[in-house]
Amino acid sequence: MPCQSSDELNILVKEAREYTKEGKVANYIPALGRANPHDLSIAIQYPDGQCISAGDIERKISLQSISKVISLALVLMDRGSNYVFERVGMEPTGDPFNSIAKLETLSPAKPLNPMINAGALVVTHMIKGNSIEDRFQRLLSFIREMANDSTIDYCEDVAQSEFKTAYLNRALCYFLKQHHIIEEDVEKLIDLYTKQCAIEMNCLELARIGMIFAMDGVDLESGKQIIPVHISRICKTFMVTCGMYNASGEFAIKIGIPAKSGVSGGIMGAVPGKFGIGIFGPALDEKGNSVAGIKLLELLSRNYKLSMF
Ligand code: GLN
């Protein structure tokens, strides 16, 4: 029986909030360093429109790496899977999300998967459109449609803050450009990528996007198939194998829910056929995942038997 009431969620949030003390907010993107480490909120969105939540749910978070699974869906729709997987692989890395190491040891030098920064930069490079602005607007419209909110936008402060400091991501791009996997101007690509990562929303909207993935790409409220079934399946599989970076194996064993995290402290979950989850808890563990957010998912998964395995 899935969790039915906000009261039940409140109890779990109270227990998990204790763990915020064990983490630190990301500060390598200066604007993210201003988050309150003790925040923790969750929303669960059911396909029939019912939504339950707990914590400070109006607070907005930037998607950061959560955007990687959404841009992947768009690019698979734009280009088809053959084109995409010629340029980015399907295997987990076991390395941190921003690592450059495997690019040099593998031949061809294509990134191992779309959930690490190197792979996500290649995915963003593949978003179709006539200009950076056009490509960004296409991604934004797609996100607005899934979240059912036409006011969603990016946070200029967060985007600027990352743009000014994204030296490692620039290094990844130049490496990939040398190997002809990225063919465009690096500054333009970093501009698009940092805007993508800075798209912000609250955890209710994040849960709604998770629900679209959970329901095989269908928005039951509008009856629309927003993402084709086979693409939604690819995205969920990447969420299981690579969604929590180099903690994905342990997460699959302990929690067993397709999920994608970001360094803002967000986690989007998609419980197949059941509901979407949006979590915000900016205190991170050493691998860059929300420490209390993971605890909260662990409690939820255990109490309501949500593991898909
Ligand atoms: N924008 C961040 C970066 O590229 C996203 C990383 C993350 O959320 N893990 O470093």
Q: Is the pTM of this model over 0.85?
A: yes
Q: Whose CA is nearest to atom 4 of ligand 1?
A: 117
Where do the H-state alpha helices sit in 107-226? Answer: 117-126, 132-147, 156-165, 167-178, 186-197, 203-214
Residues of the chain with CATH 3.40.710.10: 4-62+201-303
The confidence score (pLDDT) of residue 186 equals 98
Question: Any idea which fold 4-62+201-303 has?
Answer: Beta-lactamase (3.40.710)
Two structure tokens written together for 124 = 């963003």
Residues of the chain with CATH 1.10.1500.10: 65-197
Where do the H-state alpha helices sit in 44-99? Answer: 67-79, 81-87
Question: Any idea which fold 65-197 has?
Answer: Probable Glutaminase Ybgj; Chain: A, domain 2 (1.10.1500)
Is the beta carbon of 62 within 6 A of some atom in ligand 1? no
Chain Cα centroid distance, residue 181: 23
Q: pLDDT digit string (tens) for 123-163?
A: 999 999 999 999 999 999 999 999 999 999 999 999 999 99
CA atoms within 13 A on the CB side of 140: 21
**263: annotated active-site residue:** yes
Q: How confident is the model at residue 2 (pLDDT cuts 50, 70, 90)?
A: low
Catalytic residue among 263, 290, 291, 301: 263
CA-based nearest residue to 248, from 240, 64, 68:
240
Question: What is the chain's mean pLDDT, rounded?
Answer: 95
Q: pLDDT digit string (tens) for 266-305?
A: 999 999 999 999 999 999 999 999 999 999 999 999 999 9
Q: pLDDT digit string (tens) for 85-112?
A: 999 999 998 888 888 888 888 877 899 9
The confidence score (pLDDT) of residue 275 equals 97
- As a whole number of angstroms, the distance between CA 147 and CA 124 comes to 20
Q: Distance of CA 32 to CAs 75, 169, 262, Å?
A: 27, 17, 11
For ligand 1, mutation pick of 192, 263, 289, 290 (most atoms within 8 Å of CB): 263
Residue 1 pLDDT greater than 60, yes or no: no
248, 94 contact by CB (below 8 A): no
Ligand 1 nearest-atom number relative to CA 98: 10
Query: Which residue in the block uniquely carries the two structure tokens 């039915």?
Result: 4
CA–centroid distance, residue 76 to ligand 1 (Å): 21
The confidence score (pLDDT) of residue 103 equals 87
CA–centroid distance, residue 117 to ligand 1 (Å): 7
299's enclosing H/E stretch is: helix 291-304
